[in-house]
Structure 1
Amino acid sequence: MKRRTFVAGAAALAAGSALAALAPARAADGKIEKPDLIIGVGGKPLLYYLPLTIAEQKGFFKEEGLNVTINDFAGGAKSLQALIGGSVDIVAGAYEHTIRMQNKGQNIIAVCGLGRFPGIVVAVRKSLADDIKSVKDLKGRKMGVTAPGSSTALMLQYALKKNGLAIDDAALIGIGSGSSAVAAIKNGEVDGLSHVDPVIAQLESDGEIKVLIDTRTEKGTRDVFGGPNPAATVYLPHDFAQTNPVTTQKVVNAFMKALDFIHSAKPEDIAATVPAEYLLGDKQLYMRAFEASREMYSPDGMITKEGYDSMMSVLKGLDPELANADVAFDKTFDPTFVKAAKR
Structure 2
Amino acid sequence: MRNLKSVSALVLGVSLMFVSACGTQSAQPNPAPAAGGSQPPAEAKAPTSIKVGLVCGGMTPLLTQIGINDGSFEKAGLKIEKTCFNAGADAVQALVGGSIDINLGSYEHVLRQQKNGLDVKVYGEIFNGVGYALVVKKDAPYQKLADLKKTTLAVTKVGSLSDTGLRAGLEKEGISSEKDVQIINGGSGATMLAAIESGKAAGGMVSEPTTAQMLASGNYRILYDPPFEYAGIVVMAKTDWVNKNKDAMKTFLKINKEINDRTQKDPQSAVQPMTKEFDKIPQDVLLTAIKNQLPKVPADLKITKAAADMVVSTQLELGAISKEIPFDKTVDLTLLP
Q: Same fold (TM over 0.5)?
A: yes
Structure 2 residue 131 is the aligned partner of structure 1 residue 119: yes
Q: Within 5 A, what are the aligned runs for 1:93-104?
A: 93-104=105-116
The answer for the alignment partner of 1:205 in structure 2 is 216
- Find the partner of 2:82 among 57, 70, 91: 70
Distance 1:205 1:79 in 2: 31
Amino acid aligned to 1:115: F
Distance 1:305 1:67 in 2: 32
TM-superposed CA distance for 1:70, in Å, is: 0.8
The answer for the alignment partner of 1:165 in structure 2 is 175
**Distance 1:242-1:214 versus aligned 2 partners, 3 A rule:** same
The answer for the alignment partner of 2:333 in structure 1 is 335
Distance 1:145 1:34 in 2: 39
3-state DSSP of counterpart to 1:164: coil
Amino acid aligned to 1:260: D
Amino acid aligned to 1:163: E
Structure 2 residue 143 is the aligned partner of structure 1 residue 133: yes
- Find the partner of 1:194 among 182, 185, 205: 205
Amino acid aligned to 2:250: Q
8 Å contact 1:271–1:279 — kept in the other structure? no
The answer for the alignment partner of 2:52 in structure 1 is 39
8 Å contact 2:125–2:298 — kept in the other structure? yes
Amino acid aligned to 1:303: I
TM-superposed CA distance for 1:279, in Å, is: 5.1
**Distance 1:34-1:63 versus aligned 2 partners, 3 A rule:** closer
Structure 2 unaligned regions, length at least 5: 1-44
Give percent identity, aligned residues only: 25
8 Å contact 2:123–2:335 — kept in the other structure? yes
Q: Deviations over 1:245-302 (max 9, x none)?
A: 12222222222222223212232x2111213451543211111222233211111110
The answer for the alignment partner of 1:9 in structure 2 is none
8 Å contact 1:48–1:119 — kept in the other structure? yes
The answer for the alignment partner of 2:262 in structure 1 is 261
Structure 1 unaligned regions, length at least 5: 1-31, 216-220
Amino acid aligned to 1:336: T
3-state DSSP of counterpart to 2:128: coil
**Distance 1:158-1:248 versus aligned 2 partners, 3 A rule:** same
8 Å contact 1:52–1:92 — kept in the other structure? no
Mean Cα deviation higher: 329-338 or 165-174: 165-174
Q: Within 5 A, what are the aligned runs for 1:1-343?
A: 35-43=48-56, 45-127=57-139, 129-130=140-141, 132-168=142-178, 169-176=181-188, 178-215=189-226, 221=227, 225=228, 228-267=229-268, 269-276=269-276, 278=278, 280-316=280-316, 318-322=317-321, 324-338=322-336, 341=337
Aligned residue-pair number: 291
Bigger share in helix: 1
Amino acid aligned to 1:37: I
8 Å contact 1:37–1:68 — kept in the other structure? yes
Distance 1:80 1:100 in 2: 10
Distance 2:159 2:244 in 1: 30
The answer for the alignment partner of 1:18 in structure 2 is none
**Distance 1:165-1:81 versus aligned 2 partners, 3 A rule:** farther
Q: Deviations over 1:9-62 (max 9, x none)?
A: xxxxxxxxxxxxxxxxxxxxxxx999222211112x422121121110121221
Q: Deviations over 1:46-90 (max 9, x none)?
A: 221211211101212212322211111112222122212332221
Distance 1:259 1:266 in 2: 10
8 Å contact 2:92–2:109 — kept in the other structure? yes
Amino acid aligned to 2:220: I
Q: TM-score w.r.t. structure 1 length?
A: 0.77
Q: Deviations over 1:126-173 (max 9, x none)?
A: 35x21x333234345443333333211110121222233333432231
RMSD (Å), alpha carbons: 2.5
**Distance 1:281-1:307 versus aligned 2 partners, 3 A rule:** closer
Q: TM-score w.r.t. structure 2 length?
A: 0.78
**Distance 1:293-1:337 versus aligned 2 partners, 3 A rule:** same
Q: Deviations over 1:103-124 (max 9, x none)?
A: 2222211111101233321122
Distance 1:328 1:110 in 2: 13
8 Å contact 1:148–1:173 — kept in the other structure? yes
Distance 2:208 2:86 in 1: 16
Of structures 1 and 2, the larger Rg is shown by 2
